[in-house]
Amino acid sequence: MTSPTDQRREGALVLFSGGQDSATCLAWALERFHRVETIGFDYGQRHRVELTCRDTLRDGMAQLNPLWAARLGPDHCLPLATLGAVSDTALTREVDIAFASDGLPNTFVPGRNLVFLTFAAAVAYRRGLKHLVGGMCETDYSGYPDCRDDTIKAMQVALSLGLDRRLVVDTPLMWLDKAATWRMGEALGGLPLVELILEASHSCYQGDRSKRHPWGYGCGECPACELRAKGFWQYRDTAYVAETT
Ligand code: ZN
């Protein structure tokens, strides 16, 4: 078994979209591993603005903590237009977000995380990084089957076998709700990190950064905005209770 001290000598590649979850995962990895690189994917998503948030978040985290700055390595951004071309969803087409008869929202891009993890594993292999870190979460994602813990564990096994090299897929948010994710951010980097993630991360499916709410930018109406707002207010309420008791 790898001890925490050994693990700190290992490297990690963070699946970094520029959203709240992956930003928190980047801070988690910077605190844990001695070398951390990031990877993002451009698959023609409507909320491509999230990709432009990535540099701001990376620079901001490096400024927050000199140790994080020393550990933060290069960013990789891969064009995956083919994924957008084969998926007819509300994330890649100008259609309203709705729920299909199988209960899944039409924001579901089939196999998206399977594709992302496979490309990330190829880059990690080449860069000598043992860990992949992703913000997949079973608790309050919209039921996407490729975010489930079983799926991720199966991918870890398949990728390790297929590359003939031990690869670990870390999902620190898997069992957290959004309020707990904000709390994790605060524990990792204090209120300055919470402020950075609020200001610079992007969650809105509509790609709207024209409206600033207390919980960040977004249209305020799409499922991603609703989830982000709900989690933020829950986090703020519990923080307020903790301060006053
Ligand atoms: Zn929105």
**How far is the centre of ligand 1, averaged over its atoms, from the C-alpha of 204 (Å)?**
4
Distance in angstroms (rounded) separating the CA atoms of residues 117 and 103: 25
**How far is the centre of ligand 1, averaged over its atoms, from the C-alpha of 67 (Å)?**
34
> How large is the C-alpha radius of gyration of the chain?
17
pLDDT at position 80 is 86
Domain that holds residue 196: 10-203
**How far is the centre of ligand 1, averaged over its atoms, from the C-alpha of 49 (Å)?**
12
Distance in angstroms (rounded) separating the CA atoms of residues 189 and 27: 8
**How far is the centre of ligand 1, averaged over its atoms, from the C-alpha of 208 (Å)?**
6
Strands 216-217 and 212-213: antiparallel
**How far is the centre of ligand 1, averaged over its atoms, from the C-alpha of 228 (Å)?**
9
**How far is the centre of ligand 1, averaged over its atoms, from the C-alpha of 144 (Å)?**
18
**How far is the centre of ligand 1, averaged over its atoms, from the C-alpha of 209 (Å)?**
9
209 inside domain: no
235 inside domain: no
pLDDT at position 133 is 98
3 inside domain: no
Full-model pTM = 0.88
192 inside domain: yes
The neighbour count for residue 207, using CB atoms within 10 Å, is 17
- What amino acid is encoded at 139 in this protein? T
Distance of CA 225 to the CA centre of its chain: 15
Number of domains, the chain: 1
**How far is the centre of ligand 1, averaged over its atoms, from the C-alpha of 198 (Å)?**
14
161 inside domain: yes
pLDDT at position 142 is 60
36 inside domain: yes
Strands 11-15 and 72-79: unpaired
What CATH code is carried by the domain that includes residue 181?
A: 3.40.50.620
- In the structure, ligand 1 is a single-atom ion and the residues with CB under 5 Å from it are 204, 206, 218-219, 222, 225
Local mean pLDDT, 10-residue blocks, the chain (245 residues):
63 95 97 97 75 92 98 94 71 57 61 93 97 89 79 97 97 94 97 97 88 94 90 86 58
Distance in angstroms (rounded) separating the CA atoms of residues 44 and 52: 13
3-class secondary structure, 43: coil
198 inside domain: yes
**How far is the centre of ligand 1, averaged over its atoms, from the C-alpha of 229 (Å)?**
10
pLDDT at position 49 is 74
218 inside domain: no
